[in-house]
A and B are shown apart, each in its own frame.
Chain A
């Protein structure tokens, strides 16, 4: 007779069927593989694609979207959504430029912009956590009123600030790297650390995976949600600073539909819209894929309208792989 405790467990053996084997590896390299294939393709077919300067171009072009997407990752991990980040970006950009024009030094102007974003996020978070409103509705409202606030702050017109004190943050280089790229890497390092190494990170996954269990396990679900939306808002604020610094002006109509690009990067990166599953590194790769695609298609002289078609198809294909994966795993 067998030992009662000897229920056999096959620890991490390689999976059996071909389908499972493919997805075993997909789980491990996943979206990175698509990025590599894309890079190989572009290197072969897009002139001047494979150069250090172009790589920096790509990274700089995605920096704002990637920063928004970093905050969006936290939100989506809690099974939420934040549609307001594009408008928040615009309002934060206007606030920081107006603070500069009012004579405040660069650090304060920057802090003001980021703070406005964080506050807007905190209001979203409070409404979602305390009034139990659906994130979609709350942030849809915020998207509208923050856009209104941006227009109101500048009287509806762009405000040029050609001697913007913090324009370096959007335009300069640190050694050979564009400053916005460095900022972006910094944001990802911080959020990676938050998610992987802190109690807050565990709580984010827990709240997204099972809010009732999180509450009974002693987690303050409300606190987590308020922080998550505040961080998403702060990221939008920071994105706004870089945006203003690059265009050297306050553009109240800037950042339209940026929330969709951010959501795209998060979903491409493998984070589940249902919450509880995803990685911040995936989001960065997702953002880079979008950047490489745009840049490569331009270098290949593909028309803008065609680019849209290609991008849309790539997004659907990438996410389809993930869905097929879960279908195979559950059969």
Chain B
């Protein structure tokens, strides 16, 4: 067996009341790709941050080539040959490729920057990854895939022996992913140890020599690829069989609730016309930039429409501010919960009640007990798991945070729910619960309009799909009677009738 390059032994780490990792052991050998997978919040990133010197472990030890080490900052880790490519790239967009590569170790002549040798060394580094990039270009103008290559080039040039990649393909196109994989194989064959963090089973299966699964901060197991199959790994991740993920039960659509007529926003968005019935789940699908988010924001009064109208239960829906939308029974779950929905420093109760406080107050004075009681009723019905309703929302997992936003909408008793990417960044367990919640709300007779980029999800939870392309509705499809391929054909313009 080849040499163990990096080893974590019985590592534990906690943040306040949350146990992020408990007694986890993990290693990577020379010449292997070791995939690390698990649901969000399983502790993968925490372990990587410990390995790369961003966090220090509460218990346990880290060994590099058998030697115990204790990193107190990332530069010590990188001096020991450990490099990490984060999900968010660490580049400075305004600086050139060469400047980024030289960052922190700029070559100088006397006190003057030596640009020539900077560019020369950048070219040498880029050659290591076989990338043909002009080093004098600002790095921000390159694609994410290219920028990633540059970061890898830096890692290799710094003699890294262990490279950690955190969800590297999340923002890559298919062909960029291919190029990346080829490079990873080359690095593996040259004797480096690679840790590859990903949710994507196909990728893991293609790349990895070994797979380790984390769940709830604990190590579920490590398998040689030759000894396992993908279904085993999924089962290890979830800890249960996922039956009928989408939890769709018989729903009956009623009268038309939302009726949209020629609604348009900024140039390129709309006009669109469609209906959503009571108890119906309709999903806007399409490529990024097709105008789906813009349409729900127009309905919510978050942006101003340039033309068209909408009505809810026959009454005109004229929200020019979110407040008016809420008052007329429209609720929005925005695209990005952290930027657009949550108050991370406020409690669960405060976050859930914030839109409906006036219903619980007289002359602006809140009936605190009544609010707490009502809100905890809602959070319980969503099986929101928080240590208490008083803890700050920032300490919750992505899935529970999303439930906080859903709870806020439920508190509004909405007739129309607009859900923009309701399961983005939540793990599969929470996903299935969110689908169940959506199904339950639909059964109460609310109209539900979803935006989703996850096609299996869109097909699984909706009654109808509206495929958008270039700001307009390209097709209306029966969700139970179509395929992902058909949707993509309309979304990309291969097919253009209906």
Closest 9 CB pairs of A and B: A11-B387, A218-B323, A209-B343, A218-B326, A199-B357, A198-B364, A217-B355, A218-B355, A276-B345
Known: A199-B364, A200-B364. A209 touches B16 (CB 8 A): no
Is B341 touching A202 in the complex (CB atoms < 8 A)? no
The reply to whether B16 and A197 contact each other, CB–CB distance below 8 Å, is no
Set B15, B18, B366, B386: member contacting A199, Cβ < 8 A = B366
Which residues of the partner chain B approach A277 to less than 8 Å between Cβ atoms?
Answer: 345
Asked if A12 lies at the interface with its beta carbon under 8 angstroms from chain B, I say yes
Q: Which of A192-247 contact B (CB under 8 A)?
A: 197-200, 202-203, 205-206, 209-210, 212-220
The B-contacting residues of A in range 12-34, CB under 8 angstroms, are: 12-13, 15-17, 20
Smallest distance from the beta carbon of B429 to chain A beta carbons, Å?
Answer: 6
Q: Give the distance in Å from the alpha carbon of A62 to the alpha carbon of B213 in the complex.
A: 59
Chain A residues whose C-beta falls within 8 Å of the C-beta of B27 in the assembled complex: none
Hey, which chain B residues are within 8 Å of A220, CB to CB? 321, 323
CB-based contact B366/A202 at 8 Å: yes
Q: Given that A5-B383, A197-B366, A218-B323 are contacting pairs, would A202 and B17 also be in contact in the complex, using a CB cutoff of 8 Å?
A: no
Docked CA distance A284–B400 (Å): 36
Q: Does A2 contact B (CB under 8 A)?
A: yes
Residues of A within 8 A of B343 (CB): 205-206, 209-210, 213-214, 276
From the candidates A5, A11, A12, A216, name the one contacting B322 in the complex (CB within 8 A): A216
Contact A206/B346 with A213-B339, A217-B355, A220-B323 known, Cβ cut-off 8 Å: yes
Q: How many A-B pairs with Cβ below 8 Å?
A: 116
* B388 interface residue (CB < 8 Å to A): yes
Contacts of A197 in B (CB 8 A): 365-366, 368
Return chain A residues, CB-CB under 8 Å to B385.
Answer: 5, 7, 9
B residues within 8 A CB of A218? 321-323, 325-327, 355
Q: Is A176 among interface residues, defined by CB-CB distance under 8 A?
A: no
Cβ-neighbour of B17 out of A13, A17, A212 (below 8 A): A13
Chain A min CB distance to B239 (Å): 6
A-side contacts of B345, CB under 8 Å:
205, 209, 276-277
Contact A10 B17 (CB under 8 A): yes
- Interface SS of chain A: loop
Does the CB pair A198–B366 fall under 8 Å? yes
Beta-carbon contacts under 8 Å, A106-156 to B:
none
Indicate whether B344 reaches chain A with its CB closer than 8 angstroms. yes
| Nearest CB of chain B from residue A329's CB, rounded to whole Å | 7
Verify if B381 is at the interface (C-beta below 8 Å from A): no
Q: How far is it, in angstroms, between the C-alpha of A219 and the C-alpha of B325 when the chains are bound?
A: 12
List B contacts of A209 (CB < 8 A): 343-346
Return the CB mask of B428-455 against A: 1 if under 8 Å, else 0: 0100000000000000000000000000
Additional pairs, 18, CB under 8 Å, beyond known A213-B340, A276-B345: A4-B240, A4-B429, A8-B216, A9-B17, A9-B385, A10-B19, A11-B17, A15-B14, A15-B16, A15-B17, A200-B364, A205-B343, A206-B346, A209-B343, A213-B342, A214-B354, A215-B302, A218-B322
Nearest CB in chain A to that of B430: its residue: A7
- Complex-state Cα separation, A206 to B408, whole angstroms: 14
* Chain A residues, CB < 8 A from B354: 202-203, 206, 214, 217, 219
Q: Is the CB of A219 within 8 A of B323?
A: yes
Q: Which residue of B lies closest to A17 (CB)?
A: B58
**Residue A309 interfacial (CB < 8 Å):** no
Tell me the smallest distance from the CB of A41 to a CB of chain B, in Å.
32
**Contact check: which of A16, A210, A276 meets B58 at CB < 8 Å?**
A16
Q: Across the interface, which residues of A come within 8 angstroms of B19, CB to CB?
A: 10
Docked Cα-Cα span, A218 to B324, in Å, equals 8
A1 at the B interface (CB under 8 A): yes
Contact with A along B217-243 (1 / 0, CB 8 A): 000000000000000000000011000
In the assembled complex, which residues on chain A have CB atoms less than 8 Å from the CB atom of B342?
Answer: 210, 213
B58 contacts which chain A residues (CB < 8 A)? 16-17
| With known contacts A15-B17, A16-B14, A216-B334, A10–B346 Cβ distance under 8 A | no
Q: Please, how many angstroms separate the alpha-carbon atoms of A225 and B387 in the complex?
A: 33
Q: Provide the B57-100 mask, 1 if CB < 8 A to any CB of A, else 0.
A: 01000000000000000000000000000000000000000000
Q: A11-B387, A219-B354 are in contact. Are A20 and B346 (CB under 8 A)?
A: no
B181 vs chain A, min Cβ distance (A): 34
- 13 A-B pairs whose Cβ atoms sit less than 8 Å apart in the complex: A2-B240, A9-B386, A12-B388, A198-B365, A202-B354, A206-B346, A209-B344, A216-B340, A217-B322, A217-B326, A218-B322, A218-B326, A276-B343
